[in-house]
Amino acid sequence: MNTLYTFPLDFDKPVNQTTYYWFENGFSPEELTYIEQQVQEIPFQQAITEGGKQDQGEGLEARSSMIKWVPFSEETKWIYDKIGEMANEANESMYHFDLNNMPENIQYTEYYSTNKGHYD
């Protein structure tokens, strides 16, 4: 398995898993527009939940959205870096999990009101 992004390790802090962490304006409007442009050529696929079978419509009651997988490349590295920095900040501040890498490509998701887009 290829490691896409590596986190620094810190095993000396207690773990808090009782709340969430969020970023107001984590990406600027200009960055979001640029991301949309960067992923424009990647084909969408119907999102499903774990264990759902897309061709049989399973998992669609829990999730209605379209996804793309953003490959790690020189052009998209800045996105991985920024999300990695935010994940690391949230982890250091609250969770203190033993994070060491992001082993998957970043998922880009769109929800459409015309399809009753949701993820329950």
The tally of domains found in the chain comes to 1
Each residue's pLDDT tens digit, 4-37: 666 665 656 665 556 788 899 999 999 999 999 9
Residue-by-residue DSSP string for 79-103: HHHHHHHHHHHHIIIII-----B--
Residue 3 placed within a domain: no
The predicted model scores a pTM of 0.72
Residue 12 placed within a domain: no
Highest mean pLDDT among 1-10, 43-52, 97-106: 97-106
Q: Look at residue 70 and give its three-state secondary structure.
A: strand
Residue 1 placed within a domain: no
**Helix and strand totals (H; E) in the chain:** 2, 5
Residue 6 placed within a domain: no
Cβ atoms of residues 94 and 19 within 8 Å: yes
Q: Give me the domain span that covers residue 102.
A: 29-119
Type of residue at 19: T
Residue 21 placed within a domain: no
Look up tokens 């419509």; give the residue.
57
Residue 5 placed within a domain: no
